């Protein structure tokens, strides 16, 4: 073997060994546990805090409204669709910390006229014209009992 290679081989060997040692030290603990990724990443992702409560969370305390809603046209709609995240409220119900949107704009999200909305799915009204004598939709409609019209 020529002298050159006698110098180079040990150098390369040292280089590779150092690389392997560094690699061993730096590789995350759970890497490769389930696949080519950090196993703990599953836990990290699963441990993210919830913001939205679950649908069922409200029934416990608001069974009256639930029952009222169940009989209604709005029965398929989750409480969360209108009231927002709600988890904060579930954990701390005494304070008024939940949305109660009843504006024309809000109801219009679903009910405003748009040709892309199938009329089978939703009855649409002109949110600017429809009974414009009152300001908000909930001034007449009870959101949980839509046909109970207030005068």
Which residues, in sequence order, are bridge partners of residue 149?
141
Smallest distance from ligand HEC to CB 26, Å: 45
Distance CA 17, CA 34 (A): 27
Residue in the block written with tokens 């040292």:
14
Dihedral angle of Cα 124, 129, 133, 138, to the nearest 10 degrees: 30
From residue 101 to residue 140, what is the string marking binding to ligand HEC with x (rule CB under 6 A)? xx-x-xxxxxx----------xx-x-x--xx-xx--xxxx
Distance CA 106, CA 123 (A): 15
Could you tell which of ligand HEC, other proteins, none binds residue 68, using a CB distance below 5 to 8 A set by kind?
none
Helix or strand holding residue 80 (H, E): helix 79-83
Binding status of residue 34 toward other proteins by CB under 8 A: yes
Binding status of residue 41 toward ligand HEC by CB under 6 A: no
Provide CB contacts within 8 A for 83, sequence distance 6+.
89, 98, 99, 100
Q: Which is nearer to ligand HEC, 81 or 114 (CB)?
A: 81
Query: Segment near other proteins (CB under 8 A), from 1-9, 62-70, 88-96, 136-144?
Result: 1-9
From residue 53 to residue 92, what is the string marking binding to other proteins with x (rule CB under 8 A)? -xx--------------------xxx-xx--xx-------
Binding status of residue 56 toward ligand HEC by CB under 6 A: no
Could you tell which of ligand HEC, other proteins, none binds residue 20, using a CB distance below 5 to 8 A set by kind?
none
Closest CA to 52 of 77, 80, 76, 92: 80
Helix or strand holding residue 69 (H, E): helix 63-70
Smallest distance from ligand HEC to CB 142, Å: 7
Number of residues that bind ligand HEC (CB under 6 A): 50
């Amino acid at each position: 073997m020529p002298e050159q290679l006698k110098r180079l081989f040990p150098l390369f060997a040292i280089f590779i060994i150092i690389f392997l040692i560094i690699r061993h030290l730096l590789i995350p603990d759970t890497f490769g546990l389930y696949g080519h990724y950090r196993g703990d990443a599953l836990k990290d992702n699963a441990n993210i805090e919830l913001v939205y409560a679950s649908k069922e969370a409200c029934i416990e305390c608001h069974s009256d409204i639930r029952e009222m809603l169940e009989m209604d046209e709005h029965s398929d709609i989750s409480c969360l669709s209108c009231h927002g995240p709600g988890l904060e409220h579930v954990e701390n119900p005494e304070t008024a910390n939940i949305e109660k949107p009843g504006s024309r704009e809000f109801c219009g999200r679903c009910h405003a006229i748009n040709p892309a909305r199938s009329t089978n799915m939703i009855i649409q009204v002109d949110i600017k014209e429809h009974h414009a004598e009152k300001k908000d939709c909930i001034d007449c409609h009870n959101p949980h009992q839509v046909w109970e019209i207030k005068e």
